[in-house]
Structure 1
Amino acid sequence: MKLYLDRCRRFWRRCEPDLFIESIPVRAEFARTAEPVPFDERLKLEYKPIEIGEDWGEAWDSAWFHLQADLPEAWAGREIAMQLNLSGESLIFNNDGTPMFALTGNSVINANYTKDICQFPKSFQLGGRLDLYVEAAANSLFGVFMDEEPHRLIEKPEGYFPGKVKAMKIGLFNRELWQMRLDFEMLLLYFDTLPENDYRRRKLLHAMNEAINLYADNPANAAKARGPLQEMLRLPALASALTVTAVGHAHIDTGWLWPVRETIRKCARTFSNQLDMIEKYPGYVFGASQAQHYAFVKEHYPSLYEKIKARVADGSWEIQGGMWVEADCNLTSGESLVRQFLHGKNFFMDEFGFDVKNLWLPDVFGYSAALPQIIRKSGCNYFLTQKISWNQFNEFPHNTFIWEGIDGTEVLTHFPPENTYNAFVSPTELVPAQNRFKEADVLDEFLSLFGIGDGGGGPKEEFIEHALRLGNMEGMPKVRLGRADAFFERLAKHSDKLYHWVGELYLEMHRGTLTTQARTKRNNRKLEQLLAATEFICSLAPRESYPAEALDKAWKKLLINQFHDIIPGSSITKVYEVTEKEHAELFKVCEKLIADALETIGSADENAVSLINTLPYAYNAPVELPASWAGCAVTDGCGNEFKVQVEDGKVYAQGEIPADSVVVLRRGAPQEQPVLETRRETVLENELVRYEFNAAGELVRGFDKEAGREILRDGEKGNVFSLYVDRPNTFEAWDVDIFYDQEERTGAEIKSISDVVSGPVRSSVKLVFAIGNSEIRQEVSLRAGSKRLDFATEVEWHEVRRMLRVLFPVDVMTSEAAFDIQYGYVKRPTHGNTSWDSAKFEVVGHRYVDFSERGYGVAILNDCKYGHRTNQGNLDLCLLRSPKYPDWNADQGRQVFTYALLPHTGELAVSNVMHEAAVLNRAPIAAPGVAVQVQAPFQVLSGTSTLEVLKKAEKSDDLVIRFVETRGGADRIVLKTNLENVKLVETNLVEWTSEAEYEFDGGNCLELAFKPFELRTFKVVKK
């Protein structure tokens, strides 16, 4: 049998070159450019001839090729194809500049990811002469060639790519031979799925060998050779075979191993190919997500965009996924996730009149337990991913199930059992998927996403032909081309038969993405906070001056950089060069919008500083005032005096700034300033707490005076730095492996400790450490009236494949820790009792992680970190990593962040942890020399649910306010407004619905009830 099987495999490969009955060479000239040049400007370039085998560019170069050939008269009316392989990716245009076809000459992943033959459809009239322009990119589908574990002495760490002409010919296409090879391939793959002693193997082998005999080494016999193959293909599937809805798909990473610049062209290549497939195969459906990608095509390829709109209208093109991009769901804030839906769904509705009903995230690195509520309140009912199949330790127990979030919201969820979004519609994929489908006892259908993905492309002709052959084939599930939305609607009818999964969908992999590319993560966190503050302040100004367009663009720029390979830190250098530039621009945009708003709501006053607290919590941390205020009394508008401390030339003031309010500080007469106390004893202390440091800069004791108890475990130390060897088995930037703490670690050595400086506002000490090849500088401070110990940290980071962590061993008895997530928190075990528990050795937390026992707890807060380990009573924060792939320069240089230790009385839900975490992350907006003359329009008088958003509505001049219950319990708030003749109309997160109405009473107050972790949004409308 092996001898005949080898014959079959060799035959299938051997006859591929005969796909051209006859061919002629194509003449070519090219013009090389460093950056892409638009179609309309291609004729301005200088072209020169090029032949097969010659080089045309290096990594990330672009080029325009002009292809010409005179076709023989005998070819008229016959099927023509072109073979073009320029090594990288190519996009073929017609004469009016519309992209028509795309080709990919190289893939480092799989031969199925290449495409170098363009089968011209009947509608594409050559007219006896080939005359086309082709845009080429010197990169493969997956970027350029890079070593995935580069040695420290590597010469080209950012990769290389030889742009070389490998094939250029045009000829008569032998479709019968092409079809025969596809028949043959299906039987070969079917053969591979069968047990070794299965009788069908012998039948298949006989049919294939009979076809070879009939072919007789003559391409003209291809139709005859198909006879015995077709007999086997026509054998019907079992009556009990499952049904597969096969959706054409092309997952396109918005940025990854290529810059976003290249993604724009990947969208054009992919979408033009799929329009070609739709034309060639009636009944074929292609689906694509990510509104940003459609926006790219609309801007850069308008004629292609119009063709897409026509196909969306006729149903052959399916819009999928409600988000602006397929965003990371670990690191992105709650409000950013809302805006992903807000902008994504509004784009699709405005442009296509289409309401997307699913969240489509096949490749994201874990899914927050806050997502189900956000999904449903954004008008989506379904969720799709397959990424949890990548788990390292535990197999997820379901493929189709009801996912329940922290607030109890449920979402129908499907994991395609092929465990890929890059399927080829192959028996070797579909047979295991059918057997793997865990709900096969109650459901008879699952989804398949087929097509070239990650780098785009989508299904080739061959993949669709596979699907057509597998529609009713023995031994296979029944494959039907169709739409995902229709599949989900059918699935929903059986939802009562499905199991529930409660809580997060934790991916047991890619834990390093919680830390890698720290600057990107920090800027994202700061901008999430700043954009919310900017909207709040702009909402205080007259509505006609609200900068809706500028804020829309700003949010979309932030959202694109939350793509699931950008913010996690798994992209190349070129991506982060652009991201850092765009983040810097966004800071400037927000500053300008705030300044413009202040001009309309304030007046110049050199003796005033306006502080706008946009948080739903009172702000009582120190604020910095102009240096010229040194030595002067400082009061607020009510005459309350603020404490003032002048230190290192900076003026710090402290007093209470109420939630959602504006306080105008006044500079008073000069007054005697308190003398700052300095001492060598490294103790930071106030009336509530005492912290003691040793000569090594470690926290050796923390005593909570209010509670009368120690904060650290007896004999152990806090603020202990460890530098670990960080060499995961694979995926350097992505992964932290469970064994990282088994290798020898390096501690920090103290270089200097300053005197402690104490004043009426705060006390502080400065520490400098050396660790590895890096330096850590910290200002540790304790403010008056607070237990929160802040560690403002600056690191000069020069490590290679090392990970920096800081540890606090707290004296709290608990088996679970609470982690801040989007608009709520989730609890996770602090032990490894089960494989599911131990797999969570590195987990995500946003602004705080808390250990609480009955009546007491300790939290660690941060302003831009996400990776935590909480085993055995340790609060362990991951600060920095230094992988070398795919970004050789990842995280090198200056890093800035703050973390804080916060002991508290009461458990988390009744403590000040959430308050202090919010204060650490968003200071009031200070306006020196301006006296703001308005107040915020809403105030929460009672209750613990928080006002998170104040903005203008997307489609009207109404204000929108958003509240959330963050403590996990039912709550009632009393809301007061200073606006006249308004009412609240509840709406969903994308602001499309008008639901219950709420009237303010005579005192301009109303009461709102909240369920645990409930998120509610209201339009503020005129009565």
Structure 2
Amino acid sequence: MTHYITTPHPGHDKNSIYRFYTYNGEVLPETVTGIWDNYRDKEINDELLLAFGYGDGGGGPTREMLEMRRRLERMPGLPNVTTGRADEFFNQLENNVRSSDRYVHKWDGELYLELHRGTYTSQAFIKKMNRQMEHLLRNAEIVSAFWGALAGFGSYPSDRLYESWKIVLRNQFHDILPGSSIAEVYEDSRLEYAEAEKLAAGAFADGFGRLAGLVPTGVSSGWIVFNTLTWDRDECIRLPWEDRFGNAIWESADGQRLATQRIQSDNGEAALLVRVRNIPGLGYTTVYCKEAEEASADGALLAADQPAQPIVVAESSVATPFYEIEWNAEGQLTRLYDKRTGRELIAAGETANRFDVHEDKPLNNDAWDIDIFYYESVRQVSELKSVRVVEQGELRAVIRFNWEYESSTIEQDMILYADNPRIDFPTRVHWQEHQQLLKVAFPLAVRATSATHEIQFGNVERPTHWNNSWDFARFETCAQRWIDLSERGCGVSLLNDCKYGHDVRDHVMRLTLIKSAVSPDANADIGDHAFTYSLLPHEGDWFAAGTTIQAARLNIPVEVAKLGGGTSAEADARNGAALPATLRFFGTDSDHVVVDTIKKAEDSDDWIVRCYEFAGKRGNVRFDAHLALQSVEEVNLMEREAAKVGHSGQTFETDIKPYEIKSFRIRFS
């Protein structure tokens, strides 16, 4: 970090703004003096680090660098230059700081890089595959670990998971995932991601199939609905249409009647939506298709009381149990009224779900950068070609919008649910514009000086104003699955399934969708794109609204398979015992802790369970397993340095601090 912050690029003009050297460290008189001259805390520490060698693409130190280091060691007028190890340097630095009687400034918070903001968005396909593969591999590890705990880890797909993870991690290498490589790199990446997906999907299918095989189907046709998230959830599952569904009744594992809706796609293929309630977190439930006479005697009494048409669509408006929404002749939302809070959520005189297109020609590094002056040139996508109702039923309504912009087209569905306040916008774009930046904007009637952004294992608040240079430098920021802008008592979250670039200024939230640079790939992001973003108006703040949960639901759907009764080998593995119709393999009573990972340990047949606190809340957390525990140990991220954790039966507890990550090694009896 010292090298990254303080080492000037060789050949800089000392009278101009410094450009710092980050990729490759050269041993030259000017880099040595540059570190020394720029460093201000010499009274606390007078030993500095110059990381030398060619790092951009590899290569390391050269003979010339080593010889130059030797010559500079006793060069008059220069600091003494010696070689050493980075760990020794940082250990000594820590000792110097600890023993100093001077004031030592400490930084608590984000170290924002005021550069390369375009890498959050460039090469959208790579960003999407990275997100999807991380989730697919997570799911594959979870179902494989569940099966291993039941029947032994002999069939755990370690090799396939390892190879798939290796491909995914290789494609996170600089410059691949940032989107700043040449075209040939992304041709290779597409092939590699296809291989990684095949390996991970196969591992998941094997584990899921084995688990499903142990759940008896009973007399009626049944389906297993698997939930790999920490939280219980209600979801609409989609099944290919069968003629017998027309007169069938659908029931949950406990005999409750389930609401359904028949839908049909543009190609004529029909499907059935079934609303499944109370799907256990890190577990599953089952649903059954029955003839009318097979249905539970109490089925009518337990039927959902949802009205037949809870969503009413008019010519340019729609009303749901949650909202009243209107749009104009350009397809932009002019009204979003939240019935729960009694609030108009779109800023007066403005429009939302508005596509902004900016000229994007940074001064340097086309694929890497977005320069602040891009704000000065903007056009709106306003050529609406059609609006039509695609679906309207008991569970949801789908309204489809089609736009044209120059040589590009945008097709978008607005999905509104009868029992979920989330508004989904699945979007398909055929993009043909070079050096254009596509964003979607939501100007809100919300006053807040900061917005919350999800980052890995937590979240961070960033200012919505440009009070000083540090504020406006963050005119484009990176987030994971959601951002949120809230007042006390009311707010709006913006979720996504594969995007990372965002900007929030004053009351306007925007998500960056496409950045089509021309260098180093002349046709970057030209072609077809498919992504989903969602709007989640809410009462209270993002935590009370369950924004993290809704974003996880958007990104990691439930998995569904038809029950088949299992195989003899699977029955033998469980000594003939079947799994129940509903089961939670593992869970927690905490509302602020995510169970992020469950996998086989690297060196044993134990489970590794990794969790983190995401709300900034301290407390005691209890975990419950389906099987009896033999031992529980807290370990580090390398699955080492074990410390025993007390347990009783199938339960153990731990204390967790705000945003803390904890890993446990679990052995079952």
User: Which amino acid is the alignment partner of residue 106 of structure 2?
Assistant: H
Q: Is the 8 A contact 1:660 1:939 kept in 2?
A: yes
Q: What SS does the aligned partner of 1:754 have?
A: strand
1:974 equivalenced with 2:596 (yes/no): no
Q: Is the 8 A contact 2:345 2:444 kept in 1?
A: yes
1:526 equivalenced with 2:142 (yes/no): no
Q: Is the 8 A contact 2:452 2:459 kept in 1?
A: yes
Give the CA deviation at 1:594. Answer: 1.9
**Cα distance 1:385–1:518, how it changes in 2: closer, same or farther (>3 A)?**
farther
Q: 2:560 corresponds to which residue?
A: 926
Pairs within 5 Å for 1:342-421? 386=4, 419-420=21-22
**Cα distance 1:439–1:559, how it changes in 2: closer, same or farther (>3 A)?**
same
1:488 equivalenced with 2:70 (yes/no): no
Q: 1:1019 corresponds to which residue?
A: 665
Q: Where is the helix percentage greater, Structure 1 or Structure 2?
A: 1
Alignment partner for residue 581 of structure 1, among 163, 166, 191?
Answer: 191
Pairs within 5 Å for 1:940-955? 940-955=588-603
**Cα distance 1:931–1:901, how it changes in 2: closer, same or farther (>3 A)?**
farther
Q: What SS does the aligned partner of 1:786 have?
A: coil
Q: Is the 8 A contact 1:418 1:432 kept in 2?
A: no
Stretch of structure 1 that moved more, 865-874 or 480-489: 480-489
**Cα distance 1:534–1:384, how it changes in 2: closer, same or farther (>3 A)?**
farther
Q: 2:652 corresponds to which residue?
A: 1006
Q: Is the 8 A contact 1:684 1:763 kept in 2?
A: no
Pairs within 5 Å for 1:51-450? 386=4, 419-420=21-22, 422-450=24-52
Give the CA deviation at 1:384. Answer: 6.6
User: Which amino acid is the alignment partner of residue 595 of structure 1?
Assistant: A
**Cα distance 1:940–1:451, how it changes in 2: closer, same or farther (>3 A)?**
closer
Q: Is the 8 A contact 1:425 1:450 kept in 2?
A: yes
After superposition, give the CA deviation of every residue in 1:225-255 in whole Å (9 maximum; x if it has no partner).
xxxxxxxxxxxxxxxxxxxxxxxxxxxxxxx
Q: Is the 8 A contact 1:746 1:772 kept in 2?
A: no
Query: 2: CA distance between counterparts of 1:947 and 1:641?
Result: 31
After superposition, give the CA deviation of every residue in 1:176-208 in whole Å (9 maximum; x if it has no partner).
xxxxxxxxxxxxxxxxxxxxxxxxxxxxxxxxx
Query: 2: CA distance between counterparts of 1:679 and 1:858?
Result: 23
Give the CA deviation at 1:685. Answer: 2.9
1:622 equivalenced with 2:236 (yes/no): yes
**Cα distance 1:681–1:556, how it changes in 2: closer, same or farther (>3 A)?**
same
Query: 2: CA distance between counterparts of 1:828 and 1:612?
Result: 36
TM-score by length of 1: 0.58
Query: 1: CA distance between counterparts of 2:360 and 2:487?
Result: 33
Q: CA RMSD in A?
A: 2.5
**Cα distance 1:459–1:990, how it changes in 2: closer, same or farther (>3 A)?**
closer
TM-score by length of 2: 0.87
Q: 1:738 corresponds to which residue?
A: 372
Query: 1: CA distance between counterparts of 2:127 and 2:8?
Result: 24
Alignment partner for residue 473 of structure 1, among 75, 86, 110?
Answer: 75
Query: 2: CA distance between counterparts of 1:433 and 1:981?
Result: 55
Alignment partner for residue 611 of structure 1, among 198, 202, 225?
Answer: 225
Give the CA deviation at 1:490. Answer: 1.7
User: Which amino acid is the alignment partner of residue 1005 of structure 1?
Assistant: T
User: Which amino acid is the alignment partner of residue 693 of structure 1?
Assistant: W
Q: 1:844 corresponds to which residue?
A: 478
After superposition, give the CA deviation of every residue in 1:422-480 in whole Å (9 maximum; x if it has no partner).
23321122122211122222111111122334133333322222111111121011111
Q: What SS does the aligned partner of 1:904 have?
A: strand
Q: Is the 8 A contact 1:421 1:448 kept in 2?
A: no
Q: Is the 8 A contact 2:586 2:625 kept in 1?
A: yes
Q: Is the 8 A contact 1:971 1:1010 kept in 2?
A: yes
User: Which amino acid is the alignment partner of residue 582 of structure 1?
Assistant: E
Q: What SS does the aligned partner of 1:926 have?
A: strand
Q: What SS does the aligned partner of 1:527 have?
A: helix
**Cα distance 1:678–1:754, how it changes in 2: closer, same or farther (>3 A)?**
farther
1:994 equivalenced with 2:600 (yes/no): no
User: Which amino acid is the alignment partner of residue 256 of structure 2?
Assistant: N
Q: 1:763 corresponds to which residue?
A: 397
Q: Is the 8 A contact 2:27 2:69 kept in 1?
A: yes
User: Which amino acid is the alignment partner of residue 276 of structure 2?
Assistant: G
1:874 equivalenced with 2:508 (yes/no): yes
After superposition, give the CA deviation of every residue in 1:602-644 in whole Å (9 maximum; x if it has no partner).
3385822211100112232322113226423222212223221
Aligned residues: 615
Q: 1:537 corresponds to which residue?
A: 143
**Cα distance 1:630–1:1022, how it changes in 2: closer, same or farther (>3 A)?**
closer
1:507 equivalenced with 2:119 (yes/no): no
User: Which amino acid is the alignment partner of residue 186 of structure 2?
Assistant: Y
Q: 2:297 corresponds to which residue?
A: none
**Cα distance 1:999–1:850, how it changes in 2: closer, same or farther (>3 A)?**
same
1:937 equivalenced with 2:581 (yes/no): no
1:517 equivalenced with 2:123 (yes/no): yes
After superposition, give the CA deviation of every residue in 1:368-400 in whole Å (9 maximum; x if it has no partner).
xxxxxxxxxxxxxxx676169799xxxxxxxxx
**Cα distance 1:992–1:442, how it changes in 2: closer, same or farther (>3 A)?**
same
Query: 2: CA distance between counterparts of 1:480 and 1:949?
Result: 44
Q: Is the 8 A contact 1:683 1:756 kept in 2?
A: no
Give the CA deviation at 1:676. Answer: 10
**Cα distance 1:692–1:551, how it changes in 2: closer, same or farther (>3 A)?**
same
Q: What SS does the aligned partner of 1:479 have?
A: coil
Q: Is the 8 A contact 2:229 2:282 kept in 1?
A: yes
Q: What SS does the aligned partner of 2:483 have?
A: strand
Query: 2: CA distance between counterparts of 1:691 and 1:971?
Result: 40
Query: 2: CA distance between counterparts of 1:897 and 1:453?
Result: 35
Query: 2: CA distance between counterparts of 1:662 and 1:761?
Result: 22
Query: 1: CA distance between counterparts of 2:316 and 2:62?
Result: 69
**Cα distance 1:830–1:790, how it changes in 2: closer, same or farther (>3 A)?**
same
Give the CA deviation at 1:758. Answer: 2.1
Q: 1:39 corresponds to which residue?
A: none
Q: What SS does the aligned partner of 2:441 have?
A: strand
Query: 2: CA distance between counterparts of 1:808 and 1:721?
Result: 9
Give the CA deviation at 1:868. Answer: 0.6
Q: Is the 8 A contact 2:309 2:394 kept in 1?
A: no
User: Which amino acid is the alignment partner of residue 425 of structure 2?
Assistant: F
User: Which amino acid is the alignment partner of residue 400 of structure 2?
Assistant: K
Q: What SS does the aligned partner of 1:730 have?
A: coil
User: Which amino acid is the alignment partner of residue 110 of structure 2?
Assistant: E
After superposition, give the CA deviation of every residue in 1:126-146 in whole Å (9 maximum; x if it has no partner).
xxxxxxxxxxxxxxxxxxxxx
Q: 1:591 corresponds to which residue?
A: 201
Return 5+ residue gaps in structure 1 as ranges.
1-382, 392-416
1:653 equivalenced with 2:274 (yes/no): yes
Q: 2:179 corresponds to which residue?
A: 569
Q: Is the 8 A contact 2:183 2:520 kept in 1?
A: yes
Alignment partner for residue 252 of structure 2, among 627, 631, 636?
Answer: 636
Q: Is the 8 A contact 1:684 1:781 kept in 2?
A: no
Query: 2: CA distance between counterparts of 1:423 and 1:557?
Result: 29
Q: What SS does the aligned partner of 1:712 have?
A: coil
User: Which amino acid is the alignment partner of residue 773 of structure 1?
Assistant: S
Give the CA deviation at 1:809. Answer: 0.6
Q: Which has the higher contact order (CA 8 A, sep 6+)?
A: 2
**Identical amino acids, percent of aligned pairs:** 35
**Cα distance 1:941–1:484, how it changes in 2: closer, same or farther (>3 A)?**
closer
Give the CA deviation at 1:828. Answer: 0.2
Q: 1:556 corresponds to which residue?
A: 166
Give the CA deviation at 1:707. Answer: 1.1
Query: 2: CA distance between counterparts of 1:846 and 1:388?
Result: 29
Query: 2: CA distance between counterparts of 1:776 and 1:625?
Result: 27
Return 5+ residue gaps in structure 2 as ranges.
10-18, 265-269, 294-299, 301-306, 567-577
Give the CA deviation at 1:746. Answer: 4.1
